[in-house]
Amino acid sequence: MLWNIDLTLLDVAKVTREAYAEAFRKVTARPLVQLPQMAGRTEPEIFFDALALNGVSLRDAESERLLAPFGAELATSLAARRDLLAAQGQLLPGAAESLAAVANEAGVTASVLTGSSRPNATLKLRAFGLDRYVDLTVGGFAGSDPYPKGTLLRVVRQRAEEKYHLSFAEAATVYIADSPRDVEAARVGGARSVAVASGRASTAELRDAGASAVLPDLTDPAALITLITT
């Protein structure tokens, strides 16, 4: 079972925007005036969109060369703001309780599939004490891994199978996330999707995207457990 992080479990958008702006300025020598849509997107996607939105005209090869330095600067900028994540961000309703319920469910292996890099995802989870509920060693971090989320989901399943010496069937794999793009990633990755209307998308939009099930929030852990185990 895989969790998305941002806007599914927690909201640290204000701090993240500040870190993005600082990293973008250091790498491009240009101010980040307009930040792209972030919901369901990966850190590399956001960076490339930000280049276009902020008038940084580069050839594809030049943009690709800037991606690694930007990722390093973003990790540094976010780490410098680690104390602000919990102070200015928020844990979304029911997130900790649902994570704990899933972690305690027999036969369920829980990890993450996120658009963040590994260090940034770990930092966010630790800020709210959530890292203890998931196995990050088999997680998928689209800000670090060279795959789109749908493909990465299959990679994560393989990592878990190799670590635990178990076979995780597609039908038994569940991705809990908050955006239509994540619903699509679950479909591509051969997983069921439990969409939570805790982000920018409504329950109707998530149903229309093809989510296997839709919840208004995570405040009913028992209902979530029923969805992922049946």
Tell me the pLDDT tens digit for each residue of 33-56.
988 888 888 999 999 999 988 988
Backbone angles phi, psi at 116, to 5 degrees: -80, 165
Exposed, middle or buried by CB within 10 Å (0-12, 13-18, 19+), for 83? exposed
Degrees (nearest 5) of the Cα angle 101, 173, 183? 95
Amino acid at 101: A
- pLDDT beyond 70 at 187: yes
Q: What is the structure's pLDDT at 163? A: 96
- The yes-or-no verdict on residue 58 having pLDDT over 80 is no
Rounded-to-integer distance, Cα 87 and Cα 82, Å: 9
Taking 80 as the threshold, does the pLDDT of residue 59 lie above it? no
Q: Among residues of the chain, what percentage have pLDDT more than 70? A: 100
> 230 falls in which pLDDT band (50, 70, 90)?
confident
Minimal CA–CA distance to 102: which of 34, 204, 1, 18? 1
The answer to whether residue 132 scores a pLDDT higher than 90 is yes
Q: Band of the pLDDT at 60, cuts 50, 70, 90?
A: low
Contacts for 131 with CB less than 8 Å, ≥ 6 apart: 122, 125
Sign of the torsion formed by the C-alpha atoms of 47, 158, 125 and 120: negative
With 80 as the cut, is the pLDDT of residue 192 above it?
A: yes
Across 32-45, b (16+ Cβ under 10 Å) vs e yields beebbebbbbbbbb
Q: Which of 122, 142, 123, 135 is nearest to 185 (CA)?
A: 142
- Structure tokens that stand for 230 in this block: 């049946």
Judged against a pLDDT cut of 80, whether residue 124 lies above it is answered with yes
The answer to whether 51 touches 28, Cβ cutoff 8 Å, is yes
Reference 112, options 2, 228, 1; nearest CA is: 2
Give burial (CB, 10 Å; 0-12/13-18/19+) of 203.
Answer: middle
Residue 134 tokens read as 């998931």
* Strand ranges for 110-149 from DSSP E: 111-114, 140-141
Say whether 94 sits in a helix, a strand or coil.
coil
Which of 37-41, 107-111, 124-128, 226-230 comes out lowest in average pLDDT?
37-41
How confident is the model over 104-116, as pLDDT tens digits?
998 899 999 999 9
Average pLDDT score, the chain: 94
